Amino acid sequence: MPTITYARAIKEAMAEEMRRDPSVILYGEDVANFGGIFKITAGLKEEFGEDRVFDTPISENAIVGAGVGAAITGLRPIVELQFADFLFTAADEIVLKAGMWRYVHGGAFKVPMVVRCPSGAAGVGPEHGQCPEAFFMHTPGLRIVSPATPADAKGLLKSAIRSDDPVLYFEHKLLYGTKGEVSEDPDLLVPMGKAAIRREGDALTLVAISAMVPKSLKVAERLAEEGYNIEVIDPRSLNPFDRPAIVESVKKTGRIVVAEEAYKTLGVGAEIGAMLMEQALEYLDRPLRRVALPDVPIPTAAVLEKFVLPNEQKIYDACRELLG
């Protein structure tokens, strides 16, 4: 299998699905003529034409609303928002329309739409650097994926495009340059709702979301040198969410740390903690530990951003506290 970047994997997924299905369209701010703010869509307008790849005005609510309309009338739009934070400016269309309408209208139509959401802090401040997945886990009807590897970036995006439900596709900006082996099979999909066990172990369960996966794997290697075998789980999909994979791991290890680049209060780690209270409390030897952002806006200054963001040392310290 060829080794490509996470960004290239996203582009390949879109191009392959557009070749396979003429109902797939792609649009957003600067995606056509400029090739996207992160250059992921460069060249797609030239291949597929301006009827299928086109630019839009700067209005996220209108962009997503048009996608809902296109989806319920037979197209499969891929909508790009320049930053995941802009989901909030389109919240009416995402939460009350895309997420609800299939149910509200008694299944009269489907809403096969993908919203690409570049997420994560990268020196861009509080309005352009959030990881807001947990906000939208609270919304019925939305599918949410957050790939951490190039192979999953491609396979999950292809699954999202083929889904008949609206999917929020969170792609972490700092993962764009990471590399990995990716299949060239255009029909190889990664199913939503199936977690990946990135490393097996029995001393502690470490659940890592998105960009926390490579950091957590490095922590696991460090702890292995100290004699601890850590199990690293990458959920990949947050709705549907592979709860059994986490519960079964905790039954084996008795300890769990959740690492995510999002606010600690009511984050993914909080949901996992509540789930374990309901389903696996008797298997926990120690309380759950969460490594996440404190409840403050993400700073723009690099030194302050580094201070608040989760990192390898913070993940290591949380694991060592439970292991100790």
Residues annotated catalytic, as ranges: 128
CB-based contacts of 100, cutoff 8 Å, min separation 6 = 140, 141
Q: Do residues 43 and 15 make contact, with C-beta atoms less than 8 angstroms apart?
A: no
Interatomic CA distance for residues 41 and 11, integer angstroms: 6
Question: What number of other Cβ atoms are within 10 A of residue 96's Cβ?
Answer: 13
Question: Which alpha helices (DSSP H) does 105-149 contain, by range?
Answer: 133-137
The vertex-52 CA angle with 50 and 57, nearest 5°, equals: 70
Amino acid occupying residue 313? Q
Phi-psi region of 106 (alpha: psi -120 to 50; beta: other; left: phi over 0): left
User: What is d(CA 142, CA 72) in angstroms, rounded to the nearest whole number?
Assistant: 15
Torsion of the alpha carbons at 184, 187, 192 and 198, rounded to the nearest 10: -30
> What type of residue sits at position 65?
G
